[in-house]
């Protein structure tokens, strides 16, 4: 019986070591490009992975409201090839991912998956087809406006 226990302990320790090695060597690379600094949404995105000890490294590039930096950042991302690019805001998103008019169902980042956030109206901005689907396999995201029907419903709840 002691031999069996010793073997089990050794296997558990080896599995733990292997898993720890996987966590450090198999981390995902996410590159977030922000318009005006890493604010609450940016920090919350990073906190999500850190608080769960998920193997995700997030690099943040702040263009500090300088649109002229975006072509260089785009080229850097294409060369870097992160696992995911996160764009903050309409200007950054349109510059890096591009619009449907520019790229059709593709993206300005080629085959790099992208997630946009803090975009007021991604449909009118030409980033996605409609609220149900992006129409672009490697592009998805969230907008920062509540649907007008929902807004009106809540307004009328307070002021019938």
Q: What is the CATH number of the domain that holds 143?
A: 3.40.50.2300
Q: What stretches in the chain show pLDDT beneath 70?
A: 1-25
Residue 140 CA to residue 155 CA, distance in Å, equals: 30
User: pTM to 2 decimals?
Assistant: 0.77
Residue 82 CA to residue 61 CA, distance in Å, equals: 13
Residue 4 lies in a domain: no
CB 41 within 8 A of CB 68: no
102: left (phi over 0), alpha (psi -120 to 50) or beta: alpha
Residue pLDDT, tens place only, 14-57:
444 333 444 446 899 999 999 999 999 999 999 999 999 999 99
- Which residue segment(s) compose the domain that 45 sits in? 27-158
What's the domain count of the chain? 1
């Amino acid at each position: 019986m002691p031999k069996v226990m010793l073997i089990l302990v050794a296997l558990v320790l080896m599995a733990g070591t292997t898993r720890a090695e996987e966590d450090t060597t198999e981390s995902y690379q996410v590159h977030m490009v922000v318009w005006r600094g890493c604010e609450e949404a940016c920090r919350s995105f990073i906190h999500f992975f850190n608080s769960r000890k998920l193997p995700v490294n997030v690099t943040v590039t702040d263009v500090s409201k300088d649109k002229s930096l975006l072509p260089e950042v785009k080229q850097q991302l294409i060369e870097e090839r992160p696992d995911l690019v996160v764009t903050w805001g309409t200007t950054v998103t349109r510059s890096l991912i591009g619009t449907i008019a520019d790229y059709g169902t593709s993206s300005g980042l080629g085959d790099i998956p992208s997630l946009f956030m803090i975009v007021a109206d991604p449909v009118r901005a030409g980033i996605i087809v409609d609220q149900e689907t992006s129409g672009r396999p490697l592009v998805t995201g969230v907008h920062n406006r509540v649907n007008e029907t929902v807004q009106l419903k809540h307004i009328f709840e307070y002021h019938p």
